[in-house]
Amino acid sequence: QLQLQESGPGLVKPSETLSLTCTVSGGSISSNLYYWGWVRQPPGKGLEWIGNIYYSGTTYYNPSLESRVTIFVDTSKNQFSLRLSSVTAADTAVYYCARLIVGADLYGMDVWGQGTTVTVSS
Amino acid sequence: DIVMTQSPDSLAVSLGERATINCKSSQSVLYSSNNKNYLAWYQQKPGQPPKLLIYWASIRGSGVPDRFSGSGSGTDFTFTISSLQAEDVAVYYCQEYYSTPALTFGGGTKVEIK
């Protein structure tokens, strides 16, 4: 059974770079059926898509965050990672990693990590 | 960019009654080449990640109870819980994937028991 697990610092200082990693277990990250993505949720607010990456390394970002976001993949470790630079308090959120399946029979973010809380504060 | 607008923001429904959520996209998410609506619905319970309930606007995911249903086409969509159960208390989100792999979520609708 595929599982995703986020990891990284829970506290980041303003203006610094947030770095998170998602480890994929129970399946390979290298499949042409999937994208791998990051979604965040500020306290008490809705879901915001951050970006997706294909196993080849091709990335797609939310235009509102594109200037500050980098997502990269390490297929040898079955991991993909998020970096968000120049963070402010507005970046405080629960960050989720998720699998986006793009099949004819099933389409959507069907597997999610449990989420990790990141607080931006000095 | 496609903007997804959900309504209402919240609703309270008695147990066993119907709950209906609307989702409107700023442009059509119906892909003409395959006649499929690129729209999904998710359920998020407190302290949990979202769960994919419906895709292609109306197809229930594996194991999803049949009291959950989705309908609509083009720009206007509806999500319905036919008979609200206590365990259905959650926030529900629509999501377009017409722009895949770029995605957009609606703002969410909180469903509570009256």
Of B52, B91, B104, the CB nearest to A109: B52
| Amino acid B100: pLDDT | 87
Chain B residues with CB inside 8 Å of A112's CB? 49-51
Per-residue pLDDT at A104: 75
Give CA–CA dist B55/A19, Å, rounded.
31
> Does any CB of chain A come closer than 8 Å to the CB of residue B68?
no
Substitution target from B59, B103, B104, B110 for chain A, most A beta carbons within 10 A: B103
Q: Which residue type, as a one-letter code, is found at position A72?
A: F
In this prediction, residue A106 carries a pLDDT of: 77
Tokens 């979520």: give the residue. Answer: B105
- Please provide the average confidence, as pLDDT, over all residues in chain A: 96
Digit-coded pLDDT (tens) for A35-87: 999 999 999 999 999 999 999 999 999 999 999 999 999 999 999 999 999 99
From chain A, the residues in CB contact with B108 under 8 A are 46-47
| Cβ-nearest to A112 among B49, B105, B108 | B49
Distance in angstroms (rounded) separating the CA atoms of residues B28 and A54:
25
List the single residue in B with minimal CA-CA distance to A106.
B55
Closest CA of chain B from A48, distance in Å: 7
Identity at B105, one-letter amino acid code: F
Three-class SS of residue A37?
strand
Give the nearest chain B residue to A4 (CA atoms). Answer: B49
Q: pLDDT grade, residue B7 (50/70/90)? A: very high
Question: What is the reported pLDDT for A102?
Answer: 86
Contact B103 A52 (CB under 8 A): yes
Q: Residue B10's pLDDT band (boundaries 50, 70, 90)? A: very high
Per-residue pLDDT tens digits for A74-91: 999 999 999 999 999 999
pLDDT of residue A103: 81
Tens digit of each residue's pLDDT (9 = 90 or more) over B58-113 = 999 999 999 999 999 999 999 999 999 999 999 999 999 998 889 999 999 999 99
Q: Are B94 and B107 in contact (CB under 8 A)?
A: no
Closest CA–CA distance from residue B86 to any residue of chain A (Å): 21
- Cβ separation of A106 and B106 shorter than 8 Å? no
